[in-house]
Structure 1
Amino acid sequence: MKALTPDRMSQLLPHMTPLPGGKYLHWDELRRRPTPEGLTHAEWWAAVTLSRGALVQTLPLKDKQGEPFMFATPAPVTIDLHHIDRDAAGQIRGEGDTLKTDSHRFLISSLIEEAITSSQLEGAATTRKVAAAMLRSGRRPRDISERMIFNNYQAMEHLRSLRDEPLTPDHVLALHRMLSEDTLEDAADVGCYRRNDSVQVVDVRDNTALHVPPSHTELPERMQRLCDFANADEQSQPFIHPVIRAVLLHFMIGYDHPFADGNGRTARALFYWSMARSGYWLMEYTSISHILRKAPVKYMRAYLHTETDKNDTTYFLLHQLQTIRQAIAALHAYVDRKVTEQRETQQLLSRSAALRGRFNHRQVALLNHALRNTGEGYRVDAHQRSHAVAYQTARSDLLTLAELNLLEVTRQGNAFVFYAPDDLRKRLGKMAK
């Protein structure tokens, strides 16, 4: 790069922006774009990095060389934080009463979705329908893939009870134990820090090492530092926005890779703990893994850009903040869809004077689900868990629908299973006349 003389600096000044082209670009992206007239790529990059300096905040978290991580707050970060503050800590837009009324059912659905997709990100191979049926029915897992999902579901439920407690290294180890029980090749790795430095993050396409974590001998000290960071609040200096804190907690578990396996599941679970601790209640009903699973390469690239640009975690922040916003948007769309479907079912049922007011909201929800899932089986215990009611109440709900010929009942072992008939809508239509 040419010496930055006063004249040369005057040429750089118009291009000193942290967001060339409106984006927080990494060098690997910027060097592939046409340069501003009269500048080399190196000079353009110098202008960009100089302009980011005023936005940078150093963190108490360190890389494996002992150098601090940092982050910047360009406009896209503050815009994303504004939307997340509004949408995840406030009231849900539109049909807010629906989420409040059916909160347990929505929460169960969300926990199931996150348990499944978080496990699938790390290799669990089973269909969502089979996994969801296992979790709703309480059936024990049959293989490692189902066990990963079952463990993830249990761990996510467990974390809800820890939202008001400070995080400790022992909590993290216990969480990993819950997540990885009966899923690792070596049972000695369950709930323990990795015991060597053989763990690497590799490119599955050619087995190239993408990231080599810190030495296993540093892990106890690094985990304590991370817990101290996670427990800081708004009185701590310097102030770090709680959503940024939650995302960085996720980032550091991925960076340190403290476990032989299950690091991703642990990182995402701790993110949810941190968000809940800071009052972002709506995040309990979302699944970030569902979004991440659609573009895993972008997830990995966000890590790599941080490590190859002076520990600048802004790349990871931007990726995760967008992921959070997409997860929230998906929840809103889900709620709107459920409200519409439930309203249509209620309208269908209300056409009949004989049936008007006959069904409670749990039965309406089940019929609505059955209309979209022909042949689906329903068990009393699963219906009980989905709606948090007594067993007898759940049993009465299903038996009443069977008596009305809206469900068909059979026996599996000692339990009754109720099935939605193929012509359920037709049967409802006849009854509604």
Structure 2
Amino acid sequence: MVKIPVSGPTLRDLLHDRDLVSELRRILTSGAGPEVNGRYYHWDKLRHLDPPDGLTTREWWLALKFARASLAKPIALLDKTGAPFTFSMTDTVFQAIHRIDRDASGKIEISEQVTSPATRDRYIISSLMLEAITSSQLEGAVTTIERAKDLIRTGRKPSDQSEQMVLNNYLAMRSVRQFTHERLTPERILELQKIVTADTLDDPDAAGRLRRREDDVVVSDFDGEILHRPPDASELEERLDRMCAFANGKDGDAFVHPVVRAVLLHFWVGYDHPFVDGNGRTARALFYWSMLSQGYWLCEYISISTRLRSQPAKYARSYLHTETDENDLTYFLLHQLGIIRRAIDELHVHLDGKMEEVRRVEALLRQAVVLNQRQLALLSHSLKHPNSRYSIRSHRNSHNVVYQTARSDLLDLAERGLLNRRKVGRTFYFYPKPDLADRLKRLEA
């Protein structure tokens, strides 16, 4: 259950406290910064902590608010009163961005499982499926990951609304990949939301359009308590134009780091809630568009919704902390940067494990007595390039052997269950089994 955090005193309130103002010099020279041991605390948490020596909790909060205000940068997103949202580039933000810059863009060293043309598409499709599934589950879709993957792989018709949500989200994520070199427009956002919500709404007319005044759209918890009431529908067209200008980097002269821009675009959609339904899924899809359009190519291989789904309360709380502390986006920014960083780290661990598995199986192969050196070479190549195909001619040319020898090698591997055989025209082709590594382990055993 997510509760609305207790709002702390605003900076204006604190500066109207005569007792605090009289001690302002002492408070501001206390050494308190915007973070506490690398944590960006909200008042709801800070009020339960022991303040530094010589400060009361209110004095500590004032020192912290002053430190944050000195770093705060406004963006074009305004709240319902017309006040701007701001974010602060703290040390923790800089550190997280540095790691994402290092690991998700440019020419970095990464497993050939991703960089190889033979396998990269398989990883992209896998990550797209996982993001589509878990993003839908975040919004209430009830299905297992395996059943949802089967839906996408087989192309069968969705059996219920949950499966329709998953399929829609998958199509939306694929659509995002197609326009990463284009500017974001309101029309593109409406099109994306239409894909996300197709055949899932009580009112089909609500797909692909902004919500209207008669659409009573709020964000509530499971008990019906309203957590967020978005801006009036009459403002949405102007807000959408301003959001697109921000997303395209046309919102003024101030520099906003590309990763920060992508994360804040995610928040912006969630705050404005411009649609009757599909806001969260559209927001996360636009985050991917922003990251990919700004050169963070590795984001094609990660799923942020998988991490968000594991701790949905923290995701919701990052929105609420921002709204209950003078529009300070740093709470949401830090939460999302942590999600991105963990997703990238987990991808590297996964790929390192895959390559270690390949090396381990190759070592087993070198000790094999049941296979000849030509067969070992082909299987070693297959482990690294699982989408490869082989023919008698290609195997013969690779090893400079006669037709019958090449044919015997390949048929033997097929009979052992290591290769699939398929006839195309008059030629037989051989393909590695999808679970080749596991089959080789069993063969050695």
Q: TM-score, normalised by structure 1?
A: 0.83
Take 1:111 and 1:362, find their aligned partners in 2: how far apart are those partners?
A: 24
Tell me which of 310, 322, 334 is aligned to 2:338: 322
The aligned residue for residue 376 of structure 2 is 356
Q: Which of 143, 146, 150 is 1:129 aligned to?
A: 146
Would the alpha carbon gap of residues 185 and 359 (structure 1) be closer, same or farther in structure 2, given more than 3 Å must change? farther
Name the SS of the counterpart of 2:34 in structure 1.
coil
Secondary structure at the aligned position of 1:112 is classed as helix
Aligned to 2:76: 60
| Cα pair distance change 1:363/1:138, threshold 3 Å | farther
Partner of 2:218: 200
Secondary structure of the residue aligned to 1:113 is: helix
Alpha-carbon distance, 1:11 to partner: 4.3
C-alpha distance in structure 1 between counterparts of 2:418 and 2:38, whole Å: 56
Q: 1:402 to 1:149 in 2, by over 3 A?
A: farther
Report the counterpart of residue 375 of structure 1 in structure 2. Answer: none
Change in Cα spacing, 1:318 to 1:139, as seen in structure 2 (3 Å) is: same
The answer to whether 1:339 aligns with 2:355 is yes
1 CA distance for matches of 2:49 and 2:371?
A: 68
Please give the secondary structure, in 2, of the residue aligned with 1:142: coil
Choose which of 383, 391, 405 in structure 1 pairs with 2:417: 405
Asked if residue 272 in structure 1 is aligned to residue 288 in structure 2, the reply is: yes
Contact 1:104 1:388 in 2 (8 A): no
1:84 pairs, out of 100, 114, 134, with 100
1:146-185 to structure 2, matched below 5 A, reads 146-185=163-202
Give the residue type in structure 1 aligned to 2:216. S
* Cα distance change, pair 171–8 in 1 and its aligned pair in 2 (3 A): closer
Note if contact 1:194-1:216 (Cα within 8 Å) is conserved in structure 2. yes
Aligned AA for 1:283?
A: C
Per the alignment, residue 382 of structure 1 pairs with: none
- 1:385-400 equivalences under 5 Å are 387=387
Q: Is the 8 A contact 2:104 2:296 kept in 1?
A: yes
Question: Partners in 1 of 2:215 and 2:51 — Cα distance?
Answer: 42
Superposed displacement of residue 264, structure 1: 0.8
SS, match of residue 111 in structure 1? helix
Distance 1:332 1:189, change over 3 A: same
By how many angstroms is 1:38 displaced? 4.0
Which structure: larger Rg?
Answer: 2
Structure 2 distance, partners of 1:399, 1:61, is 65
Please state how far the C-alpha of 1:52 moved relative to its aligned partner. Answer: 1.3
Structure 2 counterpart of 1:224, from 241, 259, 275: 241
Letter aligned with residue 336 of structure 2? Q
Paired letter, 1:202: S
Q: Quote the offset at 1:217 in angstroms.
A: 1.7
Q: 1:427 to 1:313 in 2, by over 3 A?
A: closer
Contact 1:18 1:48 in 2 (8 A): yes
The one-letter amino acid of 1:100's match is T
> Greater shift after overlay, 347-356 or 208-217?
347-356
Tell me whether 282-291 or 60-69 shows the greater mean CA deviation.
60-69
1:9-59, CA deviations, whole angstroms, 9 ceiling, x for partnerless residues? 224421431113432111111111122344332222111111112101111
Q: Does 1:98 align with 2:130?
A: no
- Could you list the per-position Cα deviations for residues 123-166 of structure 1 after superposition, in whole angstroms to 9, with x for gaps in the alignment? 11111112112222333322221111111111111111101111
Task: Report % sequence identity.
Answer: 48
Q: 1:190 — aligned with what?
A: 207
Q: Distance in 2 between matches of 1:42 and 1:353?
A: 75
Residues 97-124 of structure 1 show CA distances to partners (whole Å, capped at 9, x for unaligned) of 3311121111111111111111111111
The answer on whether the counterparts of 1:114 and 1:289 sit within 8 Å (CA) in structure 2 is: yes
Aligned-partner Cα distance in 1 for 2:419–2:361:
16
- State yes or no: 1:35 paired with 2:51: yes
| Residue of structure 1 in register with 2:7 after alignment | none
Q: What SS class does the counterpart of residue 20 from structure 1 fall into?
A: coil
1:300 and 2:316 matched: yes
Cα distance between partner residues in 1 of 2:362 and 2:75: 53
Q: 2:193·2:208 contact (CA, 8 Å) conserved in 1?
A: yes
Distance 2:248 2:130 in 1: 27
Contact 1:113/1:287 (<8 A) preserved: yes
Q: Which amino acid aligns with 1:405?
A: G
1:287 to 290, 303, 317: 303
Match of 1:16 in 2: 32
Deviates more, 1:343-352 or 1:315-324: 343-352
CA gap 1:123/1:16 in 2 versus in 1, 3 angstroms: same
- Identify the residue that residue 125 of structure 2 maps to in structure 1: 108
Paired residue secondary structure (2:274): coil
Q: Are the equivalent residues in 1 in contact too, given 2:190–2:208 (CA < 8 A)?
A: yes
In structure 2, stretches of 5+ residues that fail to align are: 1-16, 390-409, 422-432
Alignment RMSD = 2.8
Secondary structure of the equivalent of 1:210? Answer: strand
State the SS of the aligned residue for 1:260: coil
1:357 partner SS: helix
Name the residue aligned to 1:429. Answer: 444
TM-score (norm 2): 0.80
